[in-house]
Amino acid sequence: EIQLQESGPGLVKPSQSLSLTCSVTGYTITSGYDWSWIRKFPGNKMEWMGYISYSGSTNYNPSLKSRISITRDTSKNQFFLQLNSVTTEDTATYYCASLLWASFDYWGQGVMVTVSS
Partner 1 sequence: DVVLTQTPSTLSATIGQSVSISCRSSQSLLDSAGNTYLYWYLQRPGQSPQLLIYLVSNLGSGVPNRFSGSGSGTDFTLKISGVEAEDLGVYYCMQATHAPYTFGAGTKLELK
Residue 80 or 94 having the CB closest to partner 1: 94
Residue 24: exposure state from Cβ atoms within 10 A (0-12, 13-18, ≥19): buried
User: φ and ψ at 100, to 5 degrees?
Assistant: -135, 125
Burial class of residue 113 in the structure, from the number of CB atoms within 10 Å of its CB (0-12 exposed, 13-18 middle, 19+ buried)? buried
Binding segment (CB under 8 A) for partner 1, from list 13-21, 23-31, 38-46, 84-92: 38-46
Binding test (CB under 8 A) with partner 1, winner from 58, 67, 77, 104: 104
11-19, 24-32, 59-67, 68-76 -> range binding partner 1 (CB under 8 A): 59-67
DSSP-assigned letter for residue 44: S
Residue 57 interacts with partner 1 (CB under 8 A): yes or no: no
Residues that bind partner 1 (CB under 8 A): 40, 44-48, 59, 61-63, 95, 101-105, 107-110
